[in-house]
């Protein structure tokens, strides 16, 4: 079974600084997809960034980028120039084609002014 592990229950960052959230996963599949979702107190799960395992290039979305290390089964999220609105619970998630999303336990990010 696939598992997703987020080893940092809580992280904090100063506004305008950079923070990296860690995620590792376990799978025997070669073709899969990885996601980072953000869940603010409103509970709405918002897609932050997506990475296809067959792509070597790391995905980037504005201030958000990932460091995808396929051999190490690692998928970390870097948030640059952190803003107060980035404060939320961040979930790493994995799926193969047509299968369910498997989520990690989440990392609560606090942004300090």
Partner 1 sequence: EAGVVQSPRYKIIEKKQPVAFWCNPISGHNTLYWYRQNLGQGPELLIRYENEEAVDDSQLPKDRFSAERLKGVDSTLKIQPAELGDSAVYLCASSPGGRQSTDTQYFGPGTRLTVL
Q: Is 97 in the site for partner 1 (CB under 8 A)?
A: yes
Which residue's CB is nearer to partner 1, number 74 or number 96?
96
Q: Which of 23, 75, 104, 111 binds partner 1 (CB under 8 A)?
A: 104
Angstrom CA distances, 35 to 22, 49, 68, 101, stand at: 12, 6, 11, 9
Select the span of 13-21, 30-38, 57-65, 73-81 touching partner 1 (CB under 8 A): 30-38
Helix (H, G, I), strand (E, B) or coil at 84: helix
d(CA 81, CA 9): 21
Q: CB under 8 A: which stretch of 17-25, 34-42, 65-73, 78-86 binds partner 1?
A: 34-42
Whole-number Å distance between alpha carbons of 41 and 55: 33
45 counts as binding partner 1 under rule CB under 8 A: yes
């Amino acid at each position: 079974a696939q598992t997703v592990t987020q080893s940092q229950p809580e992280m904090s960052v100063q506004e305008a600084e950079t923070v990296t959230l860690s995620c590792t996963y376990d799978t025997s599949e070669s073709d899969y997809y990885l996601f980072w979702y953000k869940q603010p107190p409103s509970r709405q799960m918002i897609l932050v960034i997506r990475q296809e395992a067959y792509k070597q290039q790391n995905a980037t979305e504005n201030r958000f980028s990932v460091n995808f290390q396929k051999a190490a089964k690692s998928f970390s999220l870097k948030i640059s120039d952190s803003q107060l609105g980035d404060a939320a619970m961040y979930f790493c998630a994995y799926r193969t084609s047509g299968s369910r999303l498997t989520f990690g336990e989440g990392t609560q990010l606090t942004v300090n002014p």
